[in-house]
Amino acid sequence: MAFLNQDKIDEHSEKIFWENRKVGITGASGTLGMALAKVLREKGSFVFGITHRSIEKKVDVKDGPNQWVHWHCGNEKELDKLLGNLDILILNHGINPGGNLDTDSLNKAIEVNALSNWRLIESFAKIALGQQDTSRYKEIWINTSEAEIQPAFSPSYEISKRLIGQLVSFKYSSLTTDEQKKLRLKKLILGPFRSQLNPIGIMNADFVANTIINKSIGSSKLVIVTPNPITYLIMPLTEMCREIYFNFFKFQSKT
C-alpha cells in the first residue's frame, strides 16, 4: 500500500499510517525497546526486535516484537537483508559505563553507542537512497538522549552520545533535497526513564514509548521527551547552529 503523507496525517488516519509498517528496533530486549515494540504492534506495525541477547529466553511474543533477530555490534553487514525490508529503523541499543574513566570503557561506549549506530545509518541510508519510489520514504530514529547536550554522570556515555549526535547532524546536512524525499532522520532526545541502565529514572518507559510514537509523525527532526524544560530550548538551538555550520560548507562546495 502507498503510505500517507506524514505531514498531513490526523488522528483519524493514524491507524492507516501505522498499519503494516515494518519497523526494526535495536536494543529491543531492553526496557524502552520492549515498550516501543508493544505500542507499535498495537498500532498494527510488524516489529523486528534486533538484539544481542539470547533469543530463546525472550518473553512471550505478545509483549514484544513479532520476530526476533540476533546480532552483535561489529557485524552490522549481516543485517543488510533485514534493513532492505524495513520502513523505519529505530536505533536504540547502547551501554552506559557509569563513572568508569578507563580507556576500555570509553572505547566500548564509542563502539556501541556511536560507531555501530553510524554503520547502520550508512547501510540503511544507502538502501533508502537507492529506491526509485519517492512516495514511500524511509526513516531512521536515533536515540541520542539528553546526554548529547547535558551531563549524564557518565563521561564515556556522554562522549559517545555527543559523537553520534554530531554524526547524525552531519548526515542531516549532507542529504540533498531529492535525497530528503527518500530518507528522514529523527533524533530521540530522551530524559531519564526507569530501565536496566537507569533504575532510578524519573519517567516510565511505557509513557516515553507512547509519547515518542505520538510525536514521531511529521517532518520534525527532533522528538524530545523529558521533564527538563531546558532541553526543549537548548536542543533545537544546538541543532540549528550545527545546521548553519554544515550548510555553510555545503554552499561553499557549490561555488
Residue 6 is assigned to a structural domain of this protein: no
Residue 22 is assigned to a structural domain of this protein: yes
Over residues 29-44, the mean pLDDT reads 95
pLDDT of residue 2: 36
CATH of the domain at 16: 3.40.50.720
Over residues 77-105, the mean pLDDT reads 95
> Residues 157, 172, 232, 245: which is the catalytic one?
157
Q: Is the pLDDT score of 5 beyond 50?
A: no
What's the pLDDT band for 252 if we cut at 50, 70, 90?
confident
Residue 209 is assigned to a structural domain of this protein: yes
Residue 212 is assigned to a structural domain of this protein: yes
Give the tens place of pLDDT for each residue, 114-160. Answer: 999 999 999 999 999 998 877 778 999 999 999 999 998 999 999 99
pLDDT of residue 76: 96
pLDDT of residue 168: 98
Q: What is the 3-state secondary structure (H, E, C) of the chain?
A: CCCCCCCCCCHHHHHHHHCCCEEEEECCCCHHHHHHHHHHHHCCCEEEEEECCCHHHCCCHHHCCCEEEECCCCCHHHHHHHHCCCCEEEECCCCCCCCCCCHHHHHHHHHHHHHHHHHHHHHHHHHHHCCCCCCCCEEEEEECCHHHCCCCCCHHHHHHHHHHHHHHHHHHHHCCHHHHCCEEEEEEEECCECCCCCCCCCECHHHHHHHHHHHHCCCCCEEEECCCHHHHHHHHHHHHHHHHHHHHHHHHHHC
Residue 4 is assigned to a structural domain of this protein: no
Q: What is the mean pLDDT of the chain?
A: 90
Q: List the domain range (segments joined by +) for residue 73.
A: 11-254
Higher pLDDT, 3 or 207: 207
What's the pLDDT band for 171 if we cut at 50, 70, 90?
very high
How many domains in the chain?
A: 1
Residue 203 is assigned to a structural domain of this protein: yes
pLDDT of residue 189: 97
Q: Is 157 a catalytic residue?
A: yes
Residue 1 is assigned to a structural domain of this protein: no
What's the pLDDT band for 200 if we cut at 50, 70, 90?
confident
Q: Which of 90, 95, 117, 116 is nearest to 106 (CA)?
A: 95
Residue 97 is assigned to a structural domain of this protein: yes
